[in-house]
Structure 1
Amino acid sequence: MALLKEVNGKAPKWGDNCYLAENAALVGDITMGDDCSVWFGAVLRADVDAIRMGCRVNVQDCACIHQTRGGAVVIEDDVSIGHGAVVHACCLRKGALIGMNATVLDGAEVGEGAVVAAGAVVLAGTRVGPYEIWAGIPARLVKKADREQALTFSRHYMEIKEWYGTGGRNLPPCP
C-alpha cells in the first residue's frame, strides 16, 4: 500500500479505478480524478498548497510533484508525467506530456497536448503553447506536436495500470 499521509487536516483523495504503487508517497491536500496511476517511488507532496489532478493522469516512477505557498499544482485530464520528472507549482493542461527527467518550474503553464522533452527545464513563468514541443535547458520551442502525440502515452498507461489489478482493490476507501 502506498504511503498516504494527512497534513494539517488534509489527506489525499482519489477517484475510482486508481492505482497507487506500494512505495508511492501521497501527502496532504491532493485530489485525483478517476483512472489515475501513481507509480513506484513517485512523491506527491501537498503540505502548503494543493495538488489537483484530473482523470487518467499517470505519474511515473520516481517523479516528484510539489507545490509552494500560493502556488498549487493543477494537472488536467490525460496528462503523462515521465520517470524522474519534477513538476513544481505549475499548470499542465489536458493531454500534455512531461518527458523523463524534465522539470517544470513555478508558475509555468504547459499547454494542451504539448510535449516537454526528456531532460528539458521549463523555467518559472514560461508559457508552452498548445501542441508545441519544447526541449533544452532552458526549454525552447522546437516544433509543433502532432495532435495525438502526447495522448498515446496517457492511453498506454491506462492499459498498463490494469495489469496491476486496479479496480480499487489495492486502495482503501477514500477518506
Structure 2
Amino acid sequence: MENDNLNKLWDIQTNDISNFNPKEIITKAKKQRNSQYISITVMSLTVMVLIIYAFYYAFSQWNTFNLGLILMISSLTFRIALELFFLYRKEKQLISMAQKAYRAYLKKYYKARQMINYVITPICVIVYIIGFYLLLPYFKEYFSQAFYNYIVISGILSLIVVIAIIINSTIKEQRFLKQLNK
C-alpha cells in the first residue's frame, strides 16, 4: 500500500464529508492491520505447534484426544482464514477507492466485522474450549499432577488473556465504526 498514492488520490477530493483526514485514516488502518498481523501470527504459531504435536504424538490411534486436537486446530485455522480474507480484501479496497467510496466501504466492513466478533469468534472460542477440555483427561493420565495443574492453569489464563484481547479489539472496532457514522 503506497501512502503517497492514497494521499494524492484523497487530496484531489473535497474533505467536507469526513471527520478524519487521509493521514488519520491511513494511520488507523495501519494500526488495525498490524494488530491483525499479530493475531494471525499468534494463531498460526499455535496451529503449527498443535499440528506438529498431533502428527508426532497423537495420530497413532483415533480417540477423543485426537478429536480435541482437531477441534482446536480447525477453530484456529478457520479464524486465521477469516482474518486473512478480511485483511487482504480491505487492503485491496483501500488502494483502489476514492475517499468517499472507501469511507462507505469501511462502514460495511466494520459492520461485517461485528458478525465475526459477536457470532463467529465466540463459536470458535467455544470449539477451542471443547477441544481443550477433551485433552484434559489424557493430560491427567499421562502427566504428573503438578504438570497437569500447570497445563490447566496456564490454559485458562491464556484463554482469559486471548478473550480480553478479542474484547479490546472489538471495542476499538466499535468506536471506529461510531466515528465513521458521525
Q: TM-score over 0.5 for the alignment?
A: no
Bigger relative contact order (CA 8 A; separation at least 6) = 2
Decide which structure has greater helix share: 2
- Per the normalisation by structure 2, the TM-score is 0.25
| TM-score using structure 1 length | 0.26
Q: Larger Cα Rg: Structure 1 or Structure 2?
A: 2
More strand by share: 1
